[in-house]
Every structure is written in structure tokens, then in C-alpha cells.
A = this chain, B = another copy of it.
Amino acid sequence: MPSRTPTEPTRSGRPRSAEADAAILEATRESLVDLGWSKLTMGDVATRAGVAKTTLYRRWAGKNELVVDAVAVLFDELELPDLGSLPADVEAVVLQFAALLERPETKTALMAVVAESTRDEALRDRIRDSIVARQKHLVLQGRERAQLRGELPSEPDAVVAARTADLIFDVIAGAVVHRTLVSAEPVDSDWARRFTMLLLSGLGAAAAGRQPGARGPGESRPTGAQKPGGSV
């Protein structure tokens, strides 16, 4: 493959308009931080970006479309690190995703546009195309690496493999969104570790892993007792 060198944008229209778009999306995120989704207006974004409202409407149908694009840029920053093992990679991406959801500009906006999209098919497709579908590559990449390391079996049936990737994506993204935004509890490294254990090994193993040796129902173990002595 030929190596790609970064090309300087020298031609007319295109780069300038990409720059202008980026500035508008940046202004949208600022407005989300200050006002939240419900109070954000196209007028406020236009003022912050120093452009006419008509410029915004030429490019975006309304505030929901603008907000989806503004948030999608942040999702594009998610990266699957290569930490040498599947559990480490999953934990890292879970923490990254949680940190992204905790940002004030995504926190309200993501659920708000999803709520709006339930009554707006075009908006739903936009979310699917620019956020959901784009981030699936993280699952595919993680699986490929894990298969190369021998941590996961290969999946020769492409249809089944794609379906499993979709499932994994919904489970990871859904659990982190629900924990952070619905249960409104923090995703810290302990939660990320326990979630990853559950995802990779399943419920039986996750429950047993916390408590070596099965006990009969009704038997209790006093917390803190039976620690191996020695280190204090």
C-alpha cells in the first residue's frame, strides 16, 4: 500500500467549508454545555459561531441534526487501545466511553436526540449512521485482535459474526449508558472490571468469581473474616 502523506488543503470551497462546519459544531457543543439540549437554539449557535442563522439551516434541518453531528465528532475520538489482552482492551474502552458520556455536552444531548428520534425516522437514521454504525468498528477491531491472540474462537460465518458484533455493541454501549445516565451511578475501574468479567465469562462465572467455592443457601461468610493472614 502506498503510504499516505497529509495533504495541505489548498483548493477552494471544500476545506473552508469543512473548517466552518467544524467551528459550528464546536459552537454547538459549547451551547450544549451552557444551556443544555432543551434550551439550545439555532440562533444561539449561530451567534457563538459568528455565522448567519441561514448558514446553519443551509446545512442542518434543525437543532437535532446539528446536535447529532456535534456529538458524533466526540464519539469518533473513542479508540480501542491495544493493551495485550481482551479484558484490558474492553475495560479501557468502557472507561473511555463512560468519560465521554459524563461530558456535559454529551450527557444531556445523547438521550435527548434519541428520545426525539423515536418520533422522527430521518433523525433515527442519522444517529444510526453517524454514531452507532461508526463506532461498531471498535467491536470488530477488538474481536479481531482477540482472535489473533487466541482469546476468542474465529467466526467463519460472516452473517452470524456480524450479528454477534451487533449484540456485543448493544450490550457494552447499553450497559455503560444505563449505568451512567439511567441508574446515574459512576462507571469506575471496579465497575469496568466486573462488567468485563461478566461480558467475557458470563453470569455463573462472574458470581462464582466473587466467591470461590460454592456454599449452600443460607450459609453466610462474615465480611472481612477468613482473610489470609500475614500482610497488613
A residues with a Cβ closer than 8 A to B are: 36-38, 107-112, 114-119, 124, 127-128, 132, 147-148, 151-160, 163-164, 166-171, 173-179, 181-185, 191, 194-195, 198-208, 210-211, 214-221, 223
Contacts and interface: CB of A to CB of B under 8 A. Distances in A.
A108 B110 CA distance: 13
B202 A163 contact: no
A208 B153 contact: yes
Contact of A132 (B36, B167, B183, B199): B183
Contact of A191 (B127, B157, B167, B220): B167
A105 B19 CA distance: 41
A79 to B, nearest CB: 21
B156 A114 contact: no
Contacts of A178: 170-171, 173-174, 177-178
Contacts of A214: 153-154
B166 A183 contact: yes
Nearest to A117: B184
A153 B194 contact: no
Contacts of A166: 183, 185
Nearest to A163: B194
Contact of A119 (B36, B153, B223): B36
Given A115-B115, A159-B223, 10 more contacts: A152-B203, A153-B207, A153-B215, A156-B211, A156-B215, A156-B221, A157-B221, A170-B182, A173-B182, A202-B202
A170 B175 contact: yes
A147 B195 contact: no
Contacts of A127: 182, 184
B198 A167 contact: yes
Closest 8 interchain pairs by CB? A174-B178, A174-B174, A202-B202, A111-B115, A112-B115, A201-B202, A174-B175, A170-B179
B154 A183 contact: no
Contacts of A177: 174, 177-178, 182
18 contacts: A111-B118, A112-B112, A118-B181, A127-B182, A152-B204, A153-B215, A154-B214, A154-B216, A154-B217, A154-B218, A156-B219, A164-B206, A167-B206, A169-B183, A171-B171, A174-B174, A201-B202, A202-B205
